[in-house]
Structure 1
Amino acid sequence: MKKITDKFKMIILGGTASVLLAAIIGTSVAISKNSSSSVKNATLADFEFTSNKDLSTLLASDYATENKTHNIQVNSKYWTEELFFKNFPTSSDLAQREFILRAKNGTLLNAFKDKFLIEFHSYANDLEGELFLKVTLTDFISKIGTPQKTEKIFTLKGFKKVNFESQKQYLFVNSADAKLHGLVDFNSLTQIKDKYNQDNTNDKEALLKSIVSFDLPNSTLIDYSKSVVSFDDKNITIKPYLLAKVNFANLNNLDQISTLSSTNESFFGPEISVNLQNYFDIKNDWGNKVSLSAVTKKLSELTLEEIEKSYDLKTSLFKELKLDNIPAGNTYKFQQNINKNGDEVIFRYDVYSSQQLLIYTGLIKLKKDQFKNS
């Protein structure tokens, strides 16, 4: 057998290197090319959303970027890492993913990366055990007019379904406080009590919402019509009837929520008492004595337009106005909107303690003719 010449060795080695280089390049581009003719014509309509997990043990809301009822567990980055591949995947690679989005012919979502900005939003329906994945492709190559968007919503069924029994462990109230802005139109706690007892169910609910603020977790809502309310000399006491808030996304309304209540028991949270009398003590002590005056001119020399333009967003004060009879050590801020009701002008303000805690909200009502005409 003839010896292989050095020149022939060079040819062989060069050819081998070319093959290796071609293989490397081929691997790197195959994932985005992936049968160029099929990729070129690929659309989101060709894709299927599947999972390798036993979905019956999982809540769809755990994979919802738009979770309305619990802490969000995943974000758009999760879906980016889950649905894109750095290398062309083997069967083993695919089996390790929780979710897969690809066309029936094997085309991966990577096929769109060079031409589109790709966004992911996911929504849950925990009553029916469904996950909705919205994929949006925005054409960022086109420089003519508004970028074109393509959107498709994929549905994956078979997740665990919730009921009231499974959700009631998440029902609670963090705290409750008086809403001072809702108290300004009342002169006493007795007046509030009388109004509540005279109102119909809808008005009772509106009244409660206007005077008491509940800090609730995302999982909880209150049914005010079934809550138990009582009054004493200083407090309003509420025993809240609790409802479970659940994600109820559907193709017509991805942000929809629903509620669950017990069918065999009245599910109340602990009684919560909120002191309202403190507000009326302040109102009777000095709140009713607070007055409005101009800083450098008389009110009659100022137009309402001039006053409105003098509002400073940083300090929440009107540069042309001041409040009198605010106790020393306290500070105040005006609400920007001046309410003009017929021949009456209403200014709203908040008073804060030296610790910057809101302690009082008040109104000052003046006649329009007390100001200069525009």
Structure 2
Amino acid sequence: MNYESKLSCVARGIKSSIIRELLKVANDPGMISFGGGVPDPDTFPRHKMAEIAKDIIENEYKFVLQYGTTEGDQELMQGYIDLLKKYENIDWLNYDNMVITVGSQQALYLIGITLLDEESYCAVSRPIYLGAASAFVQRNPHFINVPLLKDGIDLDYLENELEKLKKEGNIDKFKFTYVVSNFHNPAGVSMGLEKRKKLVELAKKYDFLIIEDDPYGALRFEGEKVDTIYSLAPDRTILLNTFSKVLSPGLRLGVVIGPKEIVRRVTMVKQAADLATPSLTQRLAAKFINENDLMEEIKPTIKLYREKKDSMMKAMKKHLGDIKGIDWTYPEGGLFTWVTLPKEFDTMEMFEIAKKEKVLYIPGVAFYVDEPDKNTMRISFCLPTHEEIDEGMKRLRNSINKYAEQKGIEL
């Protein structure tokens, strides 16, 4: 049977995640991986979560083992509303402004279905978070790929592109600009307050939505906290958040916050996708954040990541700093730094050498929806030990040297 002929256009167009394929070798003996963006498992509050899980399964089984509402567990929603009120000065939310999703990846997928058609336009950063790219690409929209600078997307470039759409008579088809506002995945950079305000001005001028993805905002270990874009423009911003980086990714819990008219549409789309997010994991998270100060709980996690980031920056300067034309970002939070090698490099080609050297990274080509910059890579510092970070950078330099020798590149 020709199974290919039975597939939809969407299914035929889906490609396997480069990251998933590359990281199949991450568990090889002796391998040091800077690839995965997964939290350090030792940061998970497993003992407290185990006690809560036992209690709610035994005493709240009629709720946690049953179907739930599509919107989400109101106990969790209220707990999250209280968090935002306390730490973000957002005090106007109610349940109509929220829907709990199965991780932020589902939130991105639902946003794509809710807002994008083949005739639609949307703006994304270049490079872009891979999960957002895979969710939006399935809707086959027209992408405006906005260069990512050290302080967020290039808003002058974006405005020029919007002016072109306006002159062409297509500005009404422009749906949203998608940004990772804090500690960008993959680039590690953050958008400053003035640039956030300028983006809001553009959204009002050209009448579009802002999708603010903020999975790492709580993991700030340097610099001053910046107001969310949502707090600046709640009427035209959709805020996506997750418990994966501050509690546990295994819970698979995300949240969409925005204007009730949009949230209602997202909720209706979710009904068709899975009926509801699991009641068990929602109530577990609700009990945890209601019984503990979440921001106090994650202070040891932030300290751990700050120290690993410092080790990474030190090791990169030590082992890579003398390479002519190399550049990397200095994140103030989150899990990643973005490395740009001289133009002659192709990090996907070099990956085979790196595997033999027993070190892994994610080639930059994974993070584009247009022609990629092949000389880039994402480096994650959250999982390796301090000793592995230094040794891994030494192995990466060996990989760079061997690739340069093969290609006749002068370092």
Give the shorter-chain TM-score range: under 0.3
Instruction: Point out the structure with the larger helix share.
Output: 2
The TM-score, its normalising length taken from structure 1, stands at 0.26
Larger radius of gyration: 1
Higher relative contact order (CA 8 A, sep 6+): 2
The TM-score, its normalising length taken from structure 2, stands at 0.24
